[in-house]
Amino acid sequence: MQVTISASKNFPIGHIDEKLYGAFAEHLGRMIYGGIYDPGHPEADEMGFRKDVLEMVRALKVPVIRYPGGNFVSGYEWEDGVGERSRRPRRLDLAWFSIEPNTIGIDEFQEWAKRAGSQVMLTVNLGTRGVADARNLIEYCNFPGGIKYSDMRRANGFPEPFGIRYWCLGNEMDGPWQICSKTAEEYGRLAAETGKVMKWVDPDIRLTVCGSSNSHMPTFGSWEETVLEHTYDIADYLSLHNYYGNPGNNTPEYLACSTDMDRFISTVAAICDTVKQKKGSDKTMYLSFDEWNVWFHSGEQDKRQEKWTVAPPLLEDRYNFEDALVVGCLLITLLRHADRVKMACLAQLVNVIAPIMTETGGRCWAQTIYYPFLHAANLARGDSLMTRVKCPNYAAGKYGNVPCIEAVVVDNGAANELVVLAVNRSLQEDAQLSLDIAGYGALTKAEHLVLTHPDLKAVNTADAPQIVIPTRLQTSPDTILPRQSWNVIRYRY
Ligand code: AHR
């Protein structure tokens, strides 16, 4: 098939905020314990953090990591996780029916994030807790000293404030699974007052309020509207969450699920603009897609969870090649909305629905989905350009007829490069690529990275970590996007 990708320097969508390549680390399963922290491991550093895992995280260039939840945060008492370790209590974690040992808390996690080259985005507990706790926490993290909680931090060995800039006001508060879920009215009021007080303590922070837990929630739409009516003035971002899967093994339909993400983003942006209009505000509400990924493989296994253990193996999805194609399409979709989506977090980072897997005490390896994220986060920087794709459509089940090629063009001005990211969703046909690019003069192809595999269900494992890995195609004048493939093509200008 023939595909023409068109873009012009004169039609940028928007600057790609580096926080589009954020991630998420929850106290859940083996994300923290056995994932990033494994003090008995030969690769552990002096704080017990695995250096091999850190290296894999650093390669992803993740600028911001949302922490400590997720559902976990709605029952979390952060004071349990600071101070002398021998005095930290073990607690029931009612979000994941596990035991939280509190060996790692905010103090240690922000140290780990520094080593990973990232900043922490903290979520406050608006489930079992509220304004007073959020105020105390921000004092602990960001106030220099001389009052109770800042002095507690100093006594714990951190004389300098952590300076945490990004904060989330609760997590998925519309979900019945959430500890102390709320109506939109209840949450909107609580978030508005909490955010107001937090900004009084530190006016430089940026706040995200909870949108719906996903686009299929019964209150989707009205939730956003009500919450924003209460919080428009104090909020800087509204959150979106969505996970995708292929439980019915319908690959053509599954590969088109970015259509859903695209509609979801457009709908939420329209709701934000409606509230903006009603309020006569001149502030544009940005979107933070702070949980997105594929999540469905581990469902059956998780039903057999042994309750009330520390770090049980939960949500350990083993990602296959087609999942990597979907993650590629989702990344392209986020980039196509770079004007509104100013933050996004791949959920999660290690072991729990994660690009990186570990054996506790043993090996670590990259899952298939690691690679599209690695490529986009390293190469798709700068400005996203309005991109038109002319190619055949295919029948994608509930999504109708969708283009075989999902693509976006990025102008990486700092490197004098145009970067084309493209997924060929056709399971049958290679695509011959023509570019129709205006405003950049002559382009020279510098590199074509491709991730493809004949078996859509192929996975990487600890024993065979290189089954699905990217290759570099010979740069020839012709560019072929192989059937079922993720491609990143860099052109110099
Ligand atoms: O990422 C796993 C869980 O998914 C999070 O804890 C929650 O916010 C979402 O439902």
pLDDT (tens digit per residue) in 153-194: 999 999 999 999 999 999 999 999 999 999 999 999 999 999
* Ligand 1 atom closest to 213 (CA): 10
Nearest residue (by CA) to ligand 1, atom 9, is: 70
Task: Compute the distance between CA of residue 461 and CA of residue 66 in angstroms, rounded to an integer.
Answer: 27
| 26 annotated active-site | no
Catalytic residue among 100, 172, 322, 406: 172
| 172 annotated active-site | yes
Nearest residue (by CA) to ligand 1, atom 2, is: 70
Q: Output the CA 71–ligand 1 centroid distance in Å.
A: 6
- What pLDDT, on the 0 to 100 scale, is given for residue 475? 72
- What pLDDT, on the 0 to 100 scale, is given for residue 428? 97
Residue 148 has pLDDT above 80, yes or no: yes
Catalytic residue among 26, 100, 139, 291: 291
**Average pLDDT, integer, range 99-122:** 98
Residue 293 has pLDDT above 90, yes or no: yes
Task: Compute the distance between CA of residue 317 and CA of residue 305 in angstroms, rounded to an integer.
Answer: 14
Give the model's confidence band at 476: pLDDT under 50 very low, under 70 low, under 90 confident, else very high. Answer: confident
- 347 pocket-lining for ligand 1 (C-beta < 6 Å): yes
pLDDT in tens, 321-357: 999 999 999 999 999 999 999 999 999 999 999 999 9
- What pLDDT, on the 0 to 100 scale, is given for residue 249? 97
**Average pLDDT, integer, range 29-50:** 98
pLDDT in tens, 401-428: 999 999 999 999 999 999 999 999 999 9
